Amino acid sequence: MAAAMVHPGAWPAARPTMGVTMPNPREEPPAWSELDDSLRAALRFLAYECDDPGPVPEGPALLPRQEGLDGEIMPRMTVVLDLDETLSHCRLEPLKSLQPDFCVHFEESKATGYVYVRPNARLFLEVASRLFEVVVFTASSKSYADQVLDQLDPDRQHISTRLYRQHCVERSGAFLKDLRRMGRRMDRCLLVDNSPVSLALCPDNGVVVSSWTAEDPDDKELMELLLILQQCDLEASVPQFLGRRYGLRAMVELLRRRPDLLE
Ligand SMILES: [Mg+2]
């Protein structure tokens, strides 16, 4: 929670460095020297700490068997969503200018967390769950995440599976999300996350959303995301579409050849 740092002057608000509406870095490379520190660190991690995803981990799939698959050529697309700074934002002090949507309680520290729901998050979940299999995968603890998800999806109608920190893969101190463990076809599965680090094991299947920290009440990222998901759903292959649209793997490969870009 609350990990993202905000640098209001670092980039024009209308064009986040990384997010659903970002240009393809091959066509319009980011201004490397203007990246904020957290994004610079995330890209360094992707390029230099995690150059090999390793073999597909053994063990049971994280998602239950998809029903109605027999004879189906094109299964429902599986959309795996991050929670913090993607669907909601939790902070230990409430904002002066905005009432939180609800509070959570941290068992260990006995602290209160003030939670803000990203604009359109509930509508997004409602619409997306009609079209896709919707899963939430957070690197946060189960006790915290369940308090937030019980508010976002109180009747458990929209999010079919909840995955938590214990389902992540730890590497070099970071919690990564390995889509290959879902038990879904990789050409019909994608991960949406505000942190590029989470996508390290599956850059071809990742969509980076801008980090939302409750400062922008007019944020439209989740509606933009819905449009991209609908386009993606019409394509034969999720990674082919996302590779064309965002080129994350190509960007990481460029950074490996040109480490000077992030210096
Ligand atoms: Mg996040």
Q: State percent of the chain over pLDDT 70.
A: 92
Distance CA 49, CA 86 (A): 24
Residue 16: per-residue pLDDT: 59
Domains and their CATH numbers in the chain: 35-48+75-88+119-262 (3.40.50.1000)
C-alpha 96 to ligand 1 mean position (Å): 23
Residues 44, 50: contact at Cβ < 8 Å? no
Task: Kindly give the distance from the C-alpha atom of residue 233 to the centroid of ligand 1, in angstroms, as a whole number.
Answer: 23
Q: Is 181 left (phi over 0), alpha (psi -120 to 50) or beta?
A: alpha
Going from the C-alpha of 115 to that of each of 49, 133, 135, 144, 159, the distances in angstroms are 32, 25, 20, 11, 19
Q: Is the pLDDT of residue 24 over 50?
A: yes
How do strand 161-163 and strand 78-81 relate by DSSP bridges? unpaired
> How far does residue 258's CA lie from ligand 1's centre (Å)?
27
In the reported structure, the alpha carbon of residue 35 is separated from the centroid of ligand 1 by a whole-number distance in angstroms of 18
CA of 38 from ligand 1 middle (Å) equals: 13
Q: CA 158, CA 152: separation in Å to the nearest integer?
A: 9
Other CB atoms within a 10 A radius of the CB of residue 255 amount to 19
- Three-state DSSP state, 161: strand
Cβ neighbours, 10 Å, residue 217? 10
- Using one digit for the tens of pLDDT, what is the confidence trace for 108-161? 899 999 999 999 999 999 999 999 999 999 999 999 999 999 999 999 999 999
**pLDDT tens digit sequence for 216-260:** 999 999 999 999 999 999 999 999 999 999 988 888 889 999 989
* Pairwise CA distance, residues 178 & 76, whole Å: 19
Buried b / exposed e across 128-142, counting CB within 10 Å, b at 16+? bbeebbbbbbbbbee
Average pLDDT over residues 5-24: 61
Distance 84 CA to ligand 1 centre (A): 4
Contact between 78 and 132 under an 8 Å Cβ cutoff? The reply is: yes
Other CB atoms within 10 Å distance of the CB of residue 111: 10
Q: Could you list the active site residues?
A: 82, 84
Res 12 pLDDT > 60: no
**Rounded Cα gap, residues 106 and 206, in angstroms:** 30
pLDDT tens figures, 150-209: 999 999 999 999 999 999 998 888 899 999 999 999 999 999 999 999 988 888 899 999
- pLDDT at position 10 is 39
